[in-house]
Amino acid sequence: MGCVSRPVLQLWFEFASTYSYPAVQRIEALAADLGVGVEWKPFLLGPVFKSQGWNDSPFNLYPAKGRYMWRDLERLCAKHGLPFRRPTVFPRPSLLAARVACAAAAEPWCGDFVRAVFHANFAEDRDIASDETVAAILDVLGRPGRALVEAAGAASSARRRPWSATSSSGATTGSRTRSRGQPVARAIGVDRPDRHPRCRGWPGPAMMVSERDMGLLDLLGGGAPGIGVGDPAPDFALPDRSGRTVRLGDYRGKKAVVLYFYPKDDTAGCTKEACSFRDQYQDFQDAGAEVIGVSSDAEASHEKFAAKYRLPFVLLADRSGAVRKQYGVPATLGLLPGRVTFVIDRQGIVRHVFNSQLQATRHVEEAIAALRALAGA
């Protein structure tokens, strides 16, 4: 009778990530209770943030969110009996620790190293970017600290990215894959590993994903939109860039609508997305559809954005976020307004939904394909 392999959970984490700290400290013991192994997968969020035009953590860029996050993290650590001291530097560079963890991925002490680095950062306020700190952690684990640190910093490893899931082209993902003959689940570290709604009975911090070609920020997003395929599209009334009130219901029975929610006018990803809709606007018109963009920017901002890039379609100002909430558009990392496109037919029924923060131009491709499929139905 064949031997059944032990399932393995791939845990993707960033050493500087606040909510990864409680998840990483608890996951291995929880997984072991259910006979599940853990495969440690470090990555770097910095390049992802940079691709979104951020030069700092969103928790620093949005102070109110940051204050809440620190209070929440302190509460979670107290609840789970984890020591916590707010780092005096946040976020700390974590490239060196990530390289060491990548090199040690197959070693039995990798988990101990990962937990020790998080402890040094979030419980002892030590500089995890320092060669001395990382070497000292390795020495305590009985490893040759100085030699491993020097190997991790070698020129050859500098040419290899340890953040293999951060490419804007997206990581290849799957809710179940095979690796070395073992069932594998891929997950992103969250603060409540034993309570994630998609993982009942599963021990790990998890956002199980079935979508392919997703980027890292998509994996870290707030889940699926509240309105799905087959649902009636909620009606709304919002001002356009000239102040004129536009109602979704006005298009019912006349045109299909491509309703796309985006984070902010004149930012890198949103500009690329808007210009892509502009360049293919005639294709949407030919398909009998209107394009409507929605963000929380004011009418004057929309007017400036549209004029700068010669945008021919409707932009609506959802200043309060009420319509975004009405459609259940999830926020990325709990901070950045989500990027979601809904294709709505002439009867007002949602026929396609695409949710991706990083793949801005793919929203246009998905919408065109959905309209063509409707036309051929």
Please write the tens of the pLDDT for every residue from 105-155.
Answer: 999 999 999 999 999 999 999 999 999 999 999 999 999 999 999 988 753
Domain limit, last residue, from 190, 219, 248: 219
Please state the rounded mean pLDDT for residues 159-187.
Answer: 37
Q: Is residue 356 included in any domain, yes or no? A: yes
Residues 102 and 214 in one domain: yes
Same domain membership, residue 125 and residue 167: yes
* The pTM of the whole model exceeds 0.85: no
- Tell me, what's the pLDDT at 336? 78
Indicate which CATH number applies to the domain containing 305.
Answer: 3.40.30.10
Same domain, 276 and 213: no
CA dist., res. 253 & res. 235, Å (int): 14
Min mean pLDDT across 16-30, 141-155, 156-170, 185-199 is at 156-170
For residue 39, the model assigns a pLDDT of 92
Q: Tell me the average pLDDT of the chain.
A: 82
Q: Are 207 and 271 within one domain? A: no
What is the tally of structural domains in the chain?
2
308 and 336 co-located in one domain: yes
Whether 285 is in a domain gets the answer: yes
Task: Check pLDDT > 80 for residue 86.
Answer: yes
* Residue 228 resides in a domain: no
Q: Is position 275 annotated as part of the catalytic site?
A: no
> Is residue 232 assigned to a domain?
no
Task: Tell whether 272 and 186 lie within a shared domain.
Answer: no
pLDDT for residue 223? 57
> Quick check: 319 pLDDT over 80?
yes
Please give the C-alpha separations between residue 368 and each of 22, 141, 168, 248, in angstroms, as whole numbers. 42, 55, 22, 19
Q: Quick one: what percent of the chain has pLDDT higher than 90?
A: 61
Residue 196's pLDDT band (cuts 50, 70, 90): very low
Give dist(CA 316, CA 258) in Å, integer. Answer: 13
Q: Is the pLDDT of residue 2 over 90?
A: no
- What is the pLDDT at residue 224? 63
Is residue 224 situated within a structural domain?
no
Comparing 174 with 67, which gets the higher pLDDT?
A: 67
Residue 165, in any domain of the structure? yes
What percent of the chain is predicted at pLDDT more than 70? 78
- Looking at the fold, whether 173 and 258 belong to one and the same domain comes out as no
* pLDDT of the residue at 201: 36
pLDDT class for 376, splitting at 50, 70, 90?
confident
Q: What is the pLDDT of residue 218?
A: 53
pLDDT at 3: 54
Residues 107 and 61 in one domain: yes
The reply to whether 277 falls in a domain is: yes
- pLDDT at 254 exceeding the cut of 60: yes
Question: Do 181 and 303 belong together in one domain?
Answer: no
Picking from 49-63, 173-187, 316-330, which range would have the lowest pLDDT averaged per residue? 173-187
Model confidence at 164, in pLDDT bands (50, 70, 90)? very low
User: Which of 159-168, 169-178, 223-232, 240-249 is predicted most confidently?
Assistant: 240-249
204, amino acid identity: G
**Pairwise pLDDT comparison (80 vs 157), residue with the higher score:** 80
* The pLDDT of residue 264: 93
H-assigned helices in the chain:
20-33, 46-51, 58-61, 63-79, 95-103, 110-122, 131-140, 145-152, 155-158, 216-219, 268-279, 281-286, 299-309, 322-326, 362-376
Clarify whether residues 243 and 350 are in a common domain.
Answer: yes
77, 110, 199, 270: which one is catalytic?
A: 270
Q: Is residue 230 part of a domain?
A: no
Q: How far is CA 323 from the centre of its chain?
A: 22
Q: Kindly state whether residues 168 and 263 are assigned to the same domain.
A: no
Report the pLDDT value the prediction gives residue 199, as an integer from 0 to 100.
37
Range of the domain at 65: 8-219
Could you say which of 219, 252, 274 is where a domain stops? 219
Provide the pLDDT confidence category of residue 52 given band limits of 50, 70 and 90. Answer: low
Q: How confident is the model at residue 233 (pLDDT cuts 50, 70, 90)?
A: very high
CB 302 within 8 Å of CB 292: no
On the CB side of 156, how many CA atoms lie within 13 Å of its CA?
Answer: 3
Residue 323 and residue 209 share a domain: no
Is 372's pLDDT higher than 70?
yes
Q: Residue 331: pLDDT band by 50, 70, 90 thresholds?
A: confident
